[in-house]
Amino acid sequence: MTLPDNKGHFGEFGGKFMPETLMTAIEELQKAYDKIKKDKTFLSEFDYYLKQYAGRPTPLYFAKRLTEKLGGAQIYLKREDLLHTGAHKINNTLGQILLAKRMKKPRIIAETGAGQHGVATATVCAMFGLECVVYMGEEDVRRQSLNVFKMKLLGAKICEVRSGTKTLKDAMNEAIRDWVTNVKNTYYLIGSAAGPHPYPMMVRDFQSVIGKEVKKQSLQEKGKLPDYLIACVGGGSNAIGLFYPFYKTKTKFIGVEAGGEGLNSGKHAASICAGSVGILHGSKSFILQDKDGQILPTHSISAGLDYPGVGPEHSFYKDTRRAEYVSVTDQEAFDAFKLLCEIEGIIPAMESSHAVAYAVKLAPKLKKKEVIVVNLSGRGDKDIGIVQDYMKMITPIKK
């Protein structure tokens, strides 16, 4: 069985729930993607840019001191943080920009939360000389100012979104409104494995390079596949990119959601752990909603995970129990962030710190011969300001 089916369904999840104005464009995109998906010229071009421009393959690094400290399973880090632009987002933007070029769309729009996808989109637009407009919530513009500046340097126009909760969800609403208006010349470059079909499938396919490399590297280094794969899940693109190539293996998947101030506090972004099935941004999936089906505001220390929905394939993995989904709090992610800085000399993105935090909990419970691969989806330079603020906030309490 290959997923999704030809209508974009992963079991009961996914699909295309969009205004009619966009449906023809979505059909065209689907056709264009179906065509290039197996096209050798396209794939070799994609591969070329992944290698020569983005810096693939990324290392699978054995975190020796972290492993020793935790005293359990061996922890390996998939170093997506070492890619050009500092996160896994570049994999997908390279794939989609090559597609947009083939579709002859001169104008590219994108939404961004933490700014990593915005920077990655601005980067590939600069490289190919295409117009780039990035929608970003006002709240995220404030907390991710470094990335905002980078995008501007790269020639992108930033549209600050002031509606709703002023974060990723609202940036996506506004990007869709732009797309509805400018659909004829505009390509919407979605950064998450969410949105209407074919986006969840397409983003997954472009991000699958992560899992494919891990498979190969693990076999080379350990002579076996990893026992566990751990990745953070907001929309879920880095996680699905890591998991998908292992779908038919026995390797266990763990997706880590943003628990914010705890699932009982109501201040979190754990759509799978604490949400219910609904329709948001074009697909059916787990979402955070109130009793009347209104989307709830979310909270996370990490802007990239601060989203009330999740890609439909993750909902399917949850539903069929192929993957386990857990959450870690802001504090746990912060502690993991510090730990990785201190004992491995790696500054992880706050998003990826969620995955590290769960590995810290899990590893001691496992046998020493077991292998965990944590997707270090991005680097943490962009989060330094947040970390400083957070330290100021928690220090008096800890004393």
Q: Whose CA is closest to 334, among 349, 316, 319, 344?
A: 349
d(CA 56, CA 245): 17
Under the binding rule (CB under 8 A), the answer on residue 181 touching other proteins is yes
Tokens standing for 187?
A: 């390509």
Tokens standing for 71?
A: 């005293």
Considering 16, 78, 80, 111, which one is annotated as catalytic?
111
Under the binding rule (CB under 8 A), the answer on residue 41 touching other proteins is no
Residues 293-322 that bind other proteins (CB under 8 A): 293-295
The strand pair at 107-112 and 131-137 is best described as: parallel
Under the binding rule (CB under 8 A), the answer on residue 341 touching other proteins is no
Q: Is 280 helix (H, G, I), strand (E, B) or coil?
A: strand
Nearest-approach distance from CB 323 to other proteins, in angstroms: 24
Q: Please confirm, yes or no, whether 37 is among the known catalytic residues.
A: no
d(CA 1, CA 341): 42
Nearest-approach distance from CB 142 to other proteins, in angstroms: 21
Tokens standing for 17?
A: 């729930």
Residue 208 class from Cβ within 10 Å (0-12 exposed, 13-18 middle, 19+ buried)? middle
Nearest-approach distance from CB 29 to other proteins, in angstroms: 13
Residue 138 class from Cβ within 10 Å (0-12 exposed, 13-18 middle, 19+ buried)? middle
Under the binding rule (CB under 8 A), the answer on residue 289 touching other proteins is yes
Q: Please confirm, yes or no, whether 327 is among the known catalytic residues.
A: no
Under the binding rule (CB under 8 A), the answer on residue 279 touching other proteins is yes
Q: 308-338 burial, b for 16+ CB within 10 Å, e for fewer?
A: bbbbbbbbbbbbeeebebbbbbbbbbbbbbe
Q: In what order do the strands lie in the sheet with 276-280?
A: 9-10, 13-14, 283-287, 276-280
Q: Is 34 helix (H, G, I), strand (E, B) or coil?
A: helix
Show the site string, 216-235: x = touches other proteins by CB under 8 A, - = not. --------------------
Nearest-approach distance from CB 200 to other proteins, in angstroms: 15
Q: Please confirm, yes or no, whether 138 is among the known catalytic residues.
A: no
Considering 78, 89, 150, 284, which one is annotated as catalytic?
89
Of the pair 164, 385, the CB lying nearest other proteins is at 164
Considering 271, 300, 327, 377, which one is annotated as catalytic?
377
Of the pair 21, 388, the CB lying nearest other proteins is at 21
The strand pair at 9-10 and 13-14 is best described as: antiparallel
Nearest-approach distance from CB 188 to other proteins, in angstroms: 12
Q: Whose CA is closest to 6, among 198, 241, 195?
A: 198
Instruction: Give the single-character DSSP code of 269.
Output: -
Under the binding rule (CB under 8 A), the answer on residue 180 touching other proteins is yes
Of the pair 291, 392, the CB lying nearest other proteins is at 291
Of the pair 163, 249, the CB lying nearest other proteins is at 163
Nearest-approach distance from CB 17 to other proteins, in angstroms: 5
Residues with a known catalytic role: 89, 111, 377
| Positions in the binding site for other proteins (CB under 8 A) | 7, 15-25, 27, 163-164, 169-170, 173, 176-177, 180-184, 276, 278-282, 284, 287, 289, 292-295
